[in-house]
Amino acid sequence: MSKIIWSVIDEAPALATYSLLPIVNAFTQAAGVEVVTSDISLSGRVLAAMGLAEDELSKLGEVVLQEDGNIIKLPNISASIGQLKECIAELQGQGYDIPDFPENPANADEEAIRTKYNTCLGSAVNPVLREGNSDRRAAKAVKKFAQNNPHKLRAFPQNPKSYVAHMEGDGDFYSNEQSVTMTKAQRVTIALNGSELATIDAMDKEVLDGTYMSVAKLKTFIAKTIEDAKKNGVLWSIHLKATMMKISDPIMFGHAFTVFFQEVFDKYADVFAELQVNPNQGMSDLELKISGHAKEAEIKAAFQAVVESDNPEIAMVDSDKGTTNFNASNDVIIDASMPVVVREGGKQWNRNGDAVECVAVIPDSTYAMFHAEMVADCVKNGQYDVTTMGSMANVGLMAQKAEEYGSHPTTFELSEAGKVTVTAEDGTELMSFDCEKGDIWRMSRAKDIPIKDWVRLAVERGQIEKVPVIFWLDENRAHDAEMIKKVNTYLKDLNTDGLDIQIMNVTDATRFTNARVRAGENTIAVTGNVLRDHLTDMYPILELGTSAKMLSIVPLLAGGGLYETGAGGSAPKHVDQFLKEGHLRWDSLGEILALAESLRFLGNKHSDVKLAALTAGLDIANDAYLDNSKEPSRKCGEPDNKASHFFVAQYWAKALAEGDNAELAAKFAPVAKELTEKEDTIIAELLASEGSPKDIGGYFKPDIAKATAAMRPSATLNAIIDAI
């Protein structure tokens, strides 16, 4: 029997799995495919780090190196320190003997504990599993559905004031970047004033980049954006990615927090030092640290006085709860937050819950240029038309940890001023940087084999789609200049006859793509890893209403396949609603689309006729799901995620019953009949479970029995599925 591995992860998609997976296995086992689970949730990774559970992530890291590896990877938490601490506390409450998270390790034992927990922070999963490059695009049925059922994009106002602010000239990662391509494999050492920071084993033809953010210039920039926002009468917000960029971006967030409330941090510096307040963790952590202190009320009043002064208003994470953009570094994640700014007509929410025009502050210009042009395009040309807009497909370089800024051990907050050097073991100084204390220095890497495969995949998609293929590479950026040399070399080895392949910088590529989007034309964007994140949330959210419905296929270099489902940025709110009233509005279409591609891969690889028929039936079911608008309702008392799974099962069974494979038709004809005849009963049973709080035994690590009972409340449906 063939095997597909389904990742057990976190929050709403994890809850949905309790309902969906029994249905999936009932169907796939009929064609000789078993779907098994692997726990790579945050809680699972914490327990593994502490030696209390199997290290499933490491095991999956071996699977992606196998020729027949086949994994469906759902969105997992890229944990901030705050989330990790909450997870640890929950596990301790469930009886697990694990230590607290040592924020400021005081001895060797605490350093060792911190090192173990650090493996669970940030983008810990993706670098391990992504042993291939990314092919992300909208399925035709999903695109058609969005155009026929357009979601709301709010118009930009007349004479709009919204804009993106980023550093220009010098001081940021873009302007300070240096890059080299290795001419042989050898060890490379990063050092500060001669003291080793890290050593890596660089490969022949690998691209190495080094760069740094000047903290002094960052602070000057932040202060200027605050003054400009005040003059322009716009809301102020900071947009970073403290989940994937788990070292650099929390630090930048902390500096922004400190600059905005400089007078408070200066006045209470001694108290904050005493309480070990870390501004990188935001206001929520600060309030926790000062709780019960003699000056707690005074400090809170001081912060409130700054908020109510003539400073610009701060964008809110939750206006009802009074939580601002500074609540926690991971509350505002740029690739999810900036599409909302564009979707809402250049606006964010103020403390009264009103949507108002804003300045989106994105310090590093490397990727801010994309968001600046997205907002500027709408300021100039107005909002997009969902019913006519074209599509952006993306081929992203990410195999073998390509360009994993900030989520690896080569990012440092410099402990002293001086020279950072990058030196090869043969004595060659590859790069050097004159930095100040506190500057953020980081290295990224891109190996040659993934780059060559990335170029190949881009050409392959261009041959299939017959649309322009644009490499988003800037000759004025050090890293991109090295990449352009490689792209031009490897294109010569491929059949590019009849293809429109161009290389453009970020601003020009955005303008080119947007002009085609507005004309209803499609384009393939070929980008590096981080920019892939930004594009594959921005365009799908505008086109489809969500990035969760994108096909995200990762052809693994070893020959297998990794099928990623959509982003889970809204997953916490979905869980909150489910716990309160038993209604889960998470849409599992991303998982179902991923399953279809995973099954298709197996069927093609083994020339399996029955498996091909099973996959064709699921394709029909997916189309019916969209055509009949069976996505979950947002409102309690109306069909939710559980009902959506029922309809997928019903449509899939009907398609198989009417299909060409006689064995599957005979097996699923009675199933289809029963699911159709008992539809009213099943839906009534599902709806009857809503309207009351649900206890699933834990947020990060639910109790399996409780979660299963909550997500499979229809005895009628369960009996039909379990009998297949």
Q: Is 344 exposed, middle or buried (0-12, 13-18, 19+ CB in 10 A)?
A: buried
pLDDT over 80 at 606, yes or no: yes
- What Å distances lie between residue 560 and 31, 66, 384, 551, CA to CA? 19, 7, 38, 17
- In this prediction, residue 568 carries a pLDDT of 55
**At 26, is the pLDDT very low, low, confident or very high (cuts 50, 70, 90)?**
very high
Return the pLDDT at 1: 78
Share of the chain above pLDDT 90, in %: 91
What confidence tier does 407 reach under pLDDT thresholds 50, 70, 90?
Answer: low
Residue 488 has pLDDT above 70, yes or no: yes
**What is the end-to-end Cα distance of the chain in Å, rounded?**
17
User: Looking at residue 506, what is its pLDDT?
Assistant: 98
Mean pLDDT of 564-583: 84
**Could you tell me which residues are beta bridge partners of residue 4?**
35
The whole-chain average pLDDT of the chain stands at 95
CB 74 within 8 Å of CB 41: no
Pairing assessment for the beta strands 163-165 and 411-413 based on DSSP bridges: unpaired
pLDDT at 572: 80
- Does residue 173 contact residue 430 with C-beta atoms inside 8 Å? no
At 677-715, the pLDDT tens digits run: 999 999 999 999 999 999 999 999 999 999 999 999 999
More confident residue, 334 or 245: 334
Q: What is the C-alpha separation between 83 and 43, in angstroms, rounded?
A: 11
Which of 346-360, 539-553, 667-681, 696-710 comes out lowest in average pLDDT?
A: 539-553
- Using the predicted structure, report yes or no on whether residue 647 has a pLDDT greater than 90: yes
Q: Are the beta carbons of 60 and 129 closer than 8 angstroms?
A: yes
**If we measure between CA atoms, which residue out of 191, 246, 251, 190 comes closest to residue 215?**
251
Tens digit of pLDDT for each residue in 30-80?
A: 999 999 999 999 999 999 999 999 999 999 999 999 999 999 999 888 888
Torsion, Cα 699 704 706 710, to 10 degrees, reads 80
The answer, as to whether pTM is greater than 0.85, is yes
Measure the CA–CA gap between 535 and 517, rounded to whole angstroms.
Answer: 13
pLDDT-derived band of residue 122, with 50, 70 and 90 as boundaries? confident
pLDDT at 406: 61
CA neighbor of 506 nearest in space, from 527, 520, 524 = 527
Rounded CA-CA distance 624/141 in Å is 10
For residue 144, give the nearest of 389, 478, 453 by alpha carbon: 389
Q: What is the DSSP letter of 618?
A: H
Per-residue pLDDT of 288-304, as tens digits, reads: 999 999 999 999 999 99
pLDDT tens digit sequence for 79-104: 888 899 999 999 999 999 999 999 88
Furthest-apart CA pair in the chain: how many Å? 78
Mean pLDDT computed over 629-651: 96
Give the pLDDT score at 245.
85
Measuring CA to CA, how many Å separate 525 from each of 60, 393, 399, 492, 651?
Answer: 29, 6, 17, 19, 34
- pLDDT higher than 80, residue 471: yes
Query: Averaged over 576-586, what is the pLDDT?
Result: 96
Lowest mean pLDDT among 320-334, 518-532, 576-590: 320-334
pLDDT at 547: 86
Average of per-residue pLDDT across 488-513: 98
Lowest mean pLDDT among 7-16, 424-433, 544-553, 617-626: 544-553
Residues with Cβ < 8 Å from 387, sequence gap 6 or more? Answer: 147, 148, 150
Give the range among 133-147, 532-546, 562-576 with minimum mean pLDDT.
562-576
**SS3 label, residue 395:** strand
What is d(CA 370, CA 350) in angstroms, rounded to the nearest whole number?
Answer: 25
Q: Quick check: 72 and 7 in contact, CB under 8 A?
A: yes
Percent of the chain topping pLDDT 70: 99
Render pLDDT for 250-300 as a digit per residue (tens, 0 to 9). 999 999 999 999 999 999 999 999 999 999 999 999 999 999 999 999 999
Sign of CA dihedral 709, 715, 717, 719: positive
Sketch the domain layout of the chain as residue ranges.
163-173+214-381
DSSP 517-569: HHTT--EEEEE-HHHHHHHHHHHHHHHHS-STTEEEEEEBTTS-EEEE----T
CA-to-CA distance for 556 and 562, rounded, in angstroms?
7
Distances (CA, A) of 631 to 74, 220, 617, 627: 18, 47, 19, 10
**CA distance to 422, 432, 434, 442, per residue, from 193 (Å):** 11, 10, 10, 16
Residue 200's pLDDT band (cuts 50, 70, 90): very high
Q: What pLDDT, on a 0 to 100 scale, did the predictor assign at position 417?
A: 98
3-state secondary structure of 52: coil
Query: What letters, b where the CB count within 10 A reaches 16 and e where it falls short, cover 250-279?
Result: bbbbbbbbbbbbeebbeebeebbeeeebbb
What is the pLDDT averaged over residues 165-188? 97
**pLDDT for residue 404 is more than 80:** no
The CA distance from 300 to 311, in Å, is 17
Q: Which residue has the higher pLDDT, 289 or 321?
A: 289
